[in-house]
């Protein structure tokens, strides 16, 4: 190359580098403010590139492809021209993330293709080589991640097409929208990393071997070495190529003994009530406590003999009263009398361990009419807050309820019990999320005025959809429904023309013929540039031609498909409920162990006080003896006796704590109490 043509080419490469920066901006979603600048620089770089090639051609009087550098330069120029034409004709801005770095690398190699060698110290060469290895490995990792995300996208797309919405490979797959973003972002990131790595190795090779590294057999093997080999050879390194389970406790609070079944009875923790399984609605409505009457009911229950804590849970599906009492109290008769006198109904009862187990199951929504529904947890928290504000909860029941809320959270996070829709309208929302991920900013087209489609549209709107279009053969009805959603009424004859702007279509028209056909949806998806469309056909007879589902990126579900999703989800919730039941049982055992350790706390404190009282009395006798010890000696005796007492108490205190958590430890605890005369 001539000196001036190389200068023009280097100017072009510098301008092309701005496009490389734009690729990085694209990854951070800042393409729009920077892309126009990068495009202008890219076009200007093409102009300088053309000047370089023309000058070189005029000087050599032949087409400038006499060596590898000139061929790379020509290739970069042709790619530049092709991209600029494609962008002018089709606005294909997304290709820039690949084209900009590629052209820059080609132009950079061609611009460095002269006799000048880059000056670089040995330490700097090593640093550049390390940076090359890091960027290449990061690029390969991003490309591998892209491949995995792409495979998951295809699997999820196929499952949605086949109306199989469960998870694959033992877990629930991410939504298509999320997977699509992951594919595009990771591929772009990988391409940028690899490009930067190639640029770094070009500079390194130029500094180490001059520009003879291209096409020189003696240095060609660099391309075949791994990054570790390159680093080892550069740095002079040799040998690079060879070189306690939780036990179910039955120790009783307050010194009670085990019942015939071996179950523990907690310190008079009782649950009494009815629910949707044990009483019809007419009985439950007679038992229900109006919210304004609960404080008074709490006060009356607490005034009963031995009752220390009370919780009243009153919902449409259950009315339950939970009390904690003193050891020697028997509130069951008074409690039954209260319920019968106030409401007159038969009730169920749980005591001790069964009471804790029941409360945990209720909080985890395992005892709900619809297993997994989240409302009951909020209702229990409201009842808890009301009881706390009334001063009716400040001990064992408060500890149990606090733990119940934690158990419910664990069940939600470790199982899928609340993640699967069990109504047709919610199933539509669930499917939409599987396709788009977030529904924020999505638009809905409602065709017809069916009640179920209206309900589905309401759920979608509450889930984040930004706007709803409504069309109907009777335009007045469309206007009426649009007002319900704050949407826009569309003339029935032109609604198909609006579909390219719509992400979710819900049809429930009374038309006897198809209102959407495969050919129409093919045109819609082409106009949307293959962005997904979710079509929900709730009408009977169907409004959408079934073959629409075969169109790429169109997902069609009719009423039977949605009902199938609900049925599948109900079965899925049953399986998740089994996992949740195991979690609840495990947490009940943990709760019992904690409470039983707490139960022996008074005995431990009493033992420590008893030993300290004996020690202090003996030290005081020694202090009162005439002609006795000096103050310093007494201080030493005091410290010595404290140490002795602590060592003596350590054994029984440790045994008390250990036996408190042991299923068969009740009798041993009682024996230790009797030996030391503890209450």
Secondary structure (3-state) at 348:
strand
Residue 384 has pLDDT above 50, yes or no: yes
Strand partners, 537: 507, 558
Which residue did the predictor score with more confidence, 541 or 112?
541
Which residue did the predictor score with more confidence, 158 or 170?
158
Secondary structure (3-state) at 372:
coil
Q: Is the CB of residue 506 less than 8 Å from the CB of residue 538?
A: yes
Q: Buried b / exposed e across 206-229, counting CB within 10 Å, b at 16+?
A: bbbebbebbeeeeeeebeeeebee
pTM tops 0.85, yes or no: no
* C-alpha span between 519 and 496 (Å, rounded): 12
- Which one-letter DSSP state was computed for residue 168? B
* C-alpha span between 582 and 381 (Å, rounded): 23
- pLDDT of 251 reads 31
- pLDDT of 254 reads 36
Which residue did the predictor score with more confidence, 548 or 120?
548
Secondary structure (3-state) at 191:
helix
* C-alpha span between 385 and 311 (Å, rounded): 10
Residues tagged active-site: 316
| Mean pLDDT (whole number) for 615-628 | 82
CA 244 to each of CA 583, 596, 655: distance values in angstroms, whole numbers, following the listed order: 16, 16, 17
| Mean pLDDT (whole number) for 167-184 | 71
Interval 111-120: pLDDT, tens: 766 544 445 5
Query: H helices within 28-167, ranges in order?
Result: 31-60, 68-90, 96-111, 122-161
Q: Is the CB of residue 460 less than 8 Å from the CB of residue 487?
A: no
Per-residue pLDDT band at 337 (split at 50, 70, 90): low
CA 91, 93, 95, 99 dihedral sign is: positive
Residue 223 has pLDDT above 60, yes or no: no
Of the candidates 22, 29, 28, 30, the one whose C-alpha atom is nearest the C-alpha of residue 97 is: 22
Per-residue pLDDT band at 62 (split at 50, 70, 90): low
* C-alpha span between 354 and 378 (Å, rounded): 22
Of the candidates 351, 368, 389, 362, the one whose C-alpha atom is nearest the C-alpha of residue 317 is: 368
Of the candidates 287, 273, 332, the one whose C-alpha atom is nearest the C-alpha of residue 307 is: 332
């Amino acid at each position: 190359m001539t000196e001036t043509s190389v200068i023009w080419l280097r100017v072009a490469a510098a301008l092309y580098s701005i496009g490389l920066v734009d690729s990085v901006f694209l990854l951070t979603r800042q393409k729009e403010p920077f892309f126009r600048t990068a495009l202008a620089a890219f076009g200007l770089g093409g102009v300088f590139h053309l000047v370089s090639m023309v000058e070189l051609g005029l000087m050599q009087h032949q087409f400038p492809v006499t060596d590898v550098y000139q061929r790379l330069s020509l290739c970069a120029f042709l790619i530049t021209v092709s991209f600029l034409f494609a962008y002018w004709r089709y606005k294909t801005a997304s290709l820039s993330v690949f084209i900009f770095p590629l052209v820059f690398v080609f132009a950079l190699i061609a611009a460095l293709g002269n006799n000048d060698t880059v000056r670089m110290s040995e330490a700097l060469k090593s640093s550049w080589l390390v940076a090359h290895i890091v960027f290449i490995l990061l690029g390969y990792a991003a490309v591998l991640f892209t491949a995995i995300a792409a495979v998951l996208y295809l699997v999820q797309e196929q499952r949605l097409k086949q109306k199989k919405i469960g998870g694959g490979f033992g877990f629930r797959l991410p939504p298509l929208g999320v997977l699509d973003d992951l594919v595009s972002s990771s591929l772009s990131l990988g391409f940028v990393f690899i490009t930067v790595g190639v640029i770094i190795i070009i500079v390194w090779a130029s500094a180490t071997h001059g520009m003879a590294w291209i096409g020189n057999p003696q240095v060609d093997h660099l391309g075949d070495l791994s990054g570790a080999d390159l680093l080892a050879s550069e740095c002079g390194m040799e040998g690079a190529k060879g070189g306690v389970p939780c036990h179910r406790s039955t120790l009783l609070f307050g010194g009670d003994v085990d019942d015939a079944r071996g179950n523990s009875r907690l310190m008079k923790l009782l649950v009494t009530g009815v629910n949707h399984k044990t009483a019809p609605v007419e009985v439950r409505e007679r038992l229900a406590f109006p919210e304004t009457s609960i404080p008074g009911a709490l006060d009356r229950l607490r005034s009963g003999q031995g009752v220390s804590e009370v919780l009243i849970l009153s919902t449409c599906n259950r009315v339950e009263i939970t009390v904690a009492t003193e050891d020697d109290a028997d509130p069951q008769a008074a409690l039954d009398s209260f319920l019968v006198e106030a409401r007159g109904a038969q009730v169920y009862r749980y005591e001790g361990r069964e009471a804790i187990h029941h409360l945990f199951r209720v909080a985890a929504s395992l005892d709900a009419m619809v297993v997994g529904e989240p409302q009951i947890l909020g209702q229990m928290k409201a009842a808890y807050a009301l009881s706390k504000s009334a001063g009716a909860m400040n001990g064992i029941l408060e500890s149990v309820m606090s733990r119940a809320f934690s158990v419910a959270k664990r069940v939600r996070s470790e199982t899928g019990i609340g993640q699967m829709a069990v109504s047709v309208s919610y199933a539509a929302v669930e499917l939409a999320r599987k396709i788009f991920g977030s529904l924020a900013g999505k638009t809905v087209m409602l065709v017809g005025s069916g009640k179920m489609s209206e309900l589905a549209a309401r759920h979608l709107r509450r889930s984040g959809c930004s706007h709803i279009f409504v069309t109907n053969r009777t335009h007045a009805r469309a206007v009426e429904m649009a007002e319900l959603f704050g949407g826009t009424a569309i003339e029935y004859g032109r609604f198909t023309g609006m579909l390219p702007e719509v992400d979710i279509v819900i049809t429930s028209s009374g038309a006897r013929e198809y209102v959407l056909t495969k050919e129409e949806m093919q045109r819609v998806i082409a106009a949307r540039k293959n962005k997904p469309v979710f079509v929900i056909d709730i009408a009977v007879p169907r409004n959408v031609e079934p073959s629409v589902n075969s169109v790429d990126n169109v997902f069609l579900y009719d009423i039977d498909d949605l009902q199938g999703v609900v049925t599948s989800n109900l079965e899925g919730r049953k399986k998740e409920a089994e996992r949740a039941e195991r979690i609840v049982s495990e947490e009940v055992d943990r709760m019992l162990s904690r409470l039983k350790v707490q139960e022996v706390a008074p005995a431990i404190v009493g033992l420590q006080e008893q030993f300290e009282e004996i020690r202090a009395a003996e030290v005081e006798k020694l202090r009162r003896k005439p002609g006795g010890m000096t103050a310093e000696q007494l201080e030493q005796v005091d410290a010595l006796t404290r140490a002795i007492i602590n060592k003596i108490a350590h054994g029984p205190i440790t045994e008390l704590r250990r036996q408190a958590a042991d299923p068969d430890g009740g009798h041993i605890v009682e024996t230790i109490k009797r030996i030391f005369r503890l209450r």
